[in-house]
Amino acid sequence: MLPADPVSYDDLISRFRWDIPKSFNIGVACSDAPAARTPDRPAIVDWSDDAPETLTFGELAEKSDRLASSLASLGIDRGDRVAILLPQGFETAIAHMAVYKLGAIAVPMAMQFGPDAIAYRLALSGAKALFLDASGKEKLDAADAKFPDLATIVCVGGLDGTEDFDRLVAAGSPGFTAADTGPDDPALMIFTSGTTGQPKGALHAQRVLLGHLPCVETHHEFLPREGDLLWTPADWAWAGGLLNVLLPGLYFGVPVVAARAPRFEPDWALALMQKAGVRNTFLPPTALRMLATLGDGAQRYKLNLRTIGSGGEALGRETLAWCRDTFGLTVNEFYGQTECNLVLSACNALGVVRPGSMGKPVAGHRVAVIDDRGNELPAGEQGQIAVHRPDPVMFLEYWRNPEATEKKFIGDWMLTGDQGIRDEDGYFFFVGRDDDVISSAGYRIGPGEIEDCLVSHSDVALAAVVGKPDAIRGQLVKAYVVLRAGAAPSPELKAEIQAFVKQRLSAHEYPREIDFVDEMPLTTTGKVIRRIFRQQAEAEAGREPGEKA
């Protein structure tokens, strides 16, 4: 935890020291009630229905013990991968705690994923068990694939051919002894997208939670404070939902609001924060820009917010100013990525805010702008943002991909793939990606997975996917498609292809725009030259190539 009551940013940095215990288990740390919180304290408050339901820390501890016991009896052991395909809710939190207590590896999967995305992640991770609900079971069945490693499917509500979630909890022992895991033992695998090929599984250790805490405390201005209450619309399968909100909230004894909505709607979000009394929220910049479309209408909601954190893409000066005028708060922007999250942050309480900046390095993290040889660059020079190892928040490896893991580093610098500049005062500014990852509405989207899906459509021969600048989302997914012989371009075919990708992958990954082209620019090795289409998309959006939003 951060030093109590720092008087300045420099004071905080100088006094902070990591305290990583020799034994650490996320499930125990987040669910078993220590002296700081009593068993009857709310852990999760679910507002998915009109009347809220509460899961206490005592119930979370007991139910996760019971579930871990039942999973062990089904043969789930230390190091086994357990996929979790569930929405925000009690069962998701209980499943995560149980998996960590077993010493197994949680593999969270977003509810937006379609059959192909689910099948790929199950196969690559070699998941031995899978938690899902009825909607997830439909997608699993639609995948029409075999998973030889998958021995157990646990369904909330129960379905034929699955284990019933509630029955497993009821049948388990309340006195389960958690695995004695060390901080470097694997605990969590979150898939992240790259520019080529399929997504990679970023494997994290138990210490990843401890590594997140300083930044969570920073951008929420020294959370926990009396009355704090956390909420984010981000799916708890994403790093932003799980590691920025759910797990840190539980660790600090701060109740977390759960709510399920098919899509983010500004009025729904504001109404939820009003009725739930949310005090601390993580809202991606796109969500904040969507709130801003309400203009003065947002002020009719009576909110009780203390802090707003935002990250995943550039916030922008206008959105920062609108939030100040509307909510009377300064949004604290932060920065990181799935492999090494929450390493830069603003903190208005310490006066660390500069419009357009992602903030300064968080206590305990060494961040720099480097050149292509790994040398630190002076202030004002553009280079790649990099994080120095060892660092508790940094991933262990890409699952079963040592070559990609090695390429992620230059010496002891982990490469983010983001170009940036550090000013004379130590503030970092994002310039742009030095690869083709698309940043849309807070999601990092790799074009390779979408291109693979597009060419599996019967009428598509070749496809290239790029990010097109967009005022609301930052970027939107745009596809350039070469059709197979005999297929004719039409608005109907565009809609059909969009629906195909949305169904097979995810609603946040489908191309919102499609252009049919006669030929695809390729390198001599047969790779699509996305740069040409990216420049074309920027020109369509009225920007000069490479111009920032």
Summarize pLDDT for 121-144 with one digit per residue, the tens: 999 999 999 999 999 999 999 998
Confidence of residue 195 (pLDDT cuts 50, 70, 90): very low
Q: Give the chain's domains with CATH numbers.
A: 54-204 (3.40.50.980), 438-540 (3.30.300.30)
pLDDT value at 197 more than 80: no
Beta bridge partners of residue 469, listed in sequence order: 475
Burial class for 78, CB neighbours closer than 10 Å (0-12, 13-18, 19+): middle
Amino acid 36: pLDDT: 53
Q: Per mean pLDDT, which range of 85-94, 97-106, 149-158, 454-463 is the poorest?
A: 454-463
Which pLDDT tens digit goes with each residue over 291-328? 988 888 999 999 999 999 999 877 878 889 999 999 99
Average pLDDT over the chain, rounded to an integer: 92
Amino acid 549: pLDDT: 43
Collapsing DSSP to helix, strand or coil, 338 comes out as: coil
Per cent of the chain over pLDDT 90 is 76
How many whole angstroms separate alpha carbon 346 and alpha carbon 309? 9
Per cent of the chain over pLDDT 70 is 95
pLDDT value at 354 more than 90: yes
Which pLDDT tens digit goes with each residue over 273-284? 999 999 999 998
Which pLDDT tens digit goes with each residue over 5-40? 899 999 999 999 999 999 999 999 999 967 557 889
Collapsing DSSP to helix, strand or coil, 528 comes out as: strand
Amino acid 544: pLDDT: 55
Q: What percent of the residues of the chain are helix, what percent strand, and what percent coil, each to the nearest 5?
A: 30, 25, 45
Confidence of residue 547 (pLDDT cuts 50, 70, 90): low
Confidence of residue 548 (pLDDT cuts 50, 70, 90): very low
Confidence of residue 507 (pLDDT cuts 50, 70, 90): confident
Cβ proximity of 461 and 479 under 8 Å: no
pLDDT value at 228 more than 90: yes
Amino acid 388: pLDDT: 98
The sign of the dihedral angle between the CA atoms of 532, 477, 141, 71 is positive
Q: Average pLDDT for residues 40-44, to the nearest whole number?
A: 95
Confidence of residue 443 (pLDDT cuts 50, 70, 90): confident
Q: Average pLDDT for residues 148-169, to the nearest whole number?
A: 96
Write down the pTM of the prediction. Answer: 0.87
